[in-house]
Structure 1
Amino acid sequence: MTEKSISTNNLTDNNDCLRVTSEINTCNDIKHWSNFSQWIHCMCVITFDLNIGQALEFVYPPQFVPSETETANICYMAFPDSNSGCMGDTKFHIRLRRIHKESHNGNLKKIFHSYNSDCISALRVDESHYWGFVYFRQKRDANLPRGYFQKSFILVTHLPFCNLFYNIVDQLAPKYFENGNSIIEEACDQINRLWPALQAGVSLDLQLFDNIYKINIPTISGKKCSTGGQKTDTIGKTSLNAFSTKILNSVNELELYQCLCFTLENLYTLWELVLIAEPIVIVGTSPADCSHMVHSLVSLIAPIEYCAEARPYFTIHDSEFKEFTRECGKTPPPVILGVTNPFFIKLLKDWPHILRLVDNQVKTFKF
């Protein structure tokens, strides 16, 4: 009896030691990703499960798994609505509210604060929200129960760098679909080791596999900083000939004319509506069209900061559905919503400003 008791006590002590050691390792792991976290929060893979629908299949680094509500929102917004009929590859972006919790890395807040004080308002970190850049693939596969392969690769970040992260996703997602999770792990490790600190006013080289993205985040003053933010081992010992270099003139700006050329006669009206934060709903046939149009409208008033809400792609499953569709009030909120579900046409029929897109064109509108 005594021997059993001693054995049990030793086992308990060992378990306690393992738990403490695990907690220490987790803390160290989070600190290990401090450089990565300046640019990206995590990378996710969403798949379709026959029993539960969209489901989180993989997230990396594993220390930064989104909260339960965040995960649900990401999963629902990672796939186009079934009526969209998006076959092949579709790229779009989303914005979701962050569920506040204690920061694992207090130093990260200081870095974000310093960066926000230097950069222009449109490029600031918003710690209350995440941006998600989605690469959705759907193709026929007779070997699967539903007859289709459906999966999304998502890059989640605090930074509104649409142009940069669309390029990153466009490079990584096809590699992931071909080689699996190891590509995501390797990419995150490279970003953590090789990318410089987040800093405005400095020319930065961002290396990812065989690509180098050259960017410069503008400052409020428009002046360049005298000190560089490059890491000495970023390109270092490797010949530049081994890389494909891409110069990004802007980290956030997309092609505005492509989205707005179909409604040039209403451009001034749209500019006014965005400037005074009027509620606008964009009804499109795909999340790609919606998210690009929402982004283009917000960009119209740059460099003035858009201070209301903007959701590039919004679904009926979003945790803020009631908040934005007036089920909790009578007045439409100051928000620009991008939607594809026809249900919204009926639900939001009383909204003062509606744009309907068909095949990337403005077919009908109400101002």
Structure 2
Amino acid sequence: MKNLILLLASIAILPQVDGEIPNSISCTPKQCYTAFEIRASFQTAVDMCEKIDGHLMSVRYSASNDAMGELLRDAEGEFWIGLQFNGNGCTDTSRLRRYVWITGDTLTNFTNWSDGDSEPFCAPTCVSVSRDLKWKGRSCDKIMDGFLCEHDRTKVCAPLEPRETDESVHYITPFGNEGEGPTMLPMGSVVTGRPSGVKHICTPDGVWLRAPWSCEVLNGGCEHKCVTKTPQCTCPAGTALQRNNITCTPNDACVNLGCEQLCLAGACLCRDGYELLADGKGCRDKDECRDTMICPNSNCVNTIVTPTSNYTKDVTSAVTAGGLLGITVCVVLMILIIVFLAHQISRRRSSWNIACMLKSPGEDLQDLQQVTTQKYTKKSSFVNRNVKQDT
């Protein structure tokens, strides 16, 4: 708890310089540095760095020089650093050439003086740098394009790598800087995993603490309300706490998950024939041949599942587009033939019914008598022919 209170105090004394957020930040294991693209004289730059609990940057080691290179990678113009002429003569052959760090000492294991483009020594000059990182003497009253601050009273946390379920991390520092990717950050920085939403804060011990943390510090990292006793995040009515324990979603936990296929109780699932991707949302075809329980021998053919349905097909017997067209034509022809035959049968039955309806009962009797007479006549003729043959 003591460390978290110290963290709260540290965050409180890091106001922004005149409302400006540093253009860049870079940290080594021992300190952090910030770059401000604010036009200022040397003394104005000194005052501004002190407002955010720092001082103008000292470049005593090659590691500091590397950090300065990160700060100025995309910068234009010249920036003040914390080195100024001490005014005690012009014949000093030391590495700092009668210059002194803003902290009042001359300790250094590194220099990078420019051979040219510097104002004369033995004058009230201060040192500026640009993207070439060369030290150049300039009149201390000159207005430079910006300045570099050093924060050596802050603890630094090692880069926090994304969790297995996250694709990236997003960070925000106490100075207001935001960015993507793992990097060393000062205490009070908050890193959020994406898409999980899991948060960590850099503590004064130089370690990452997962949210929810003490409610007095940035609301414990909670999206809604932090309960101080545990600490624990709570959500308003109609919403539920997500698995990251800090953010709230509608009671239907599946609403904002973005599952590709199925969702159950806040977890993404896949249909038969698919397996879940590493992001916990997407699905891909499952190669059943890798499962020895399903395919115990080498005679295995994987089935391909279409992305839009549960329909499966064997890759060795797929129907070609031409074959499918031929089947379609045959089916259409058979349907047309059946319709034609049904139509013809219907017409014949209709004509028979009409003929029967037009005949009267008397006509039917005459037709019967005529048929009977014809049969009798044919029989008599047959008998007469037989008699003639006997005579």
For normalisation by structure 1, the TM-score amounts to: 0.26
Q: Which has the higher contact order (CA 8 A, sep 6+)?
A: 1
Larger radius of gyration: 2
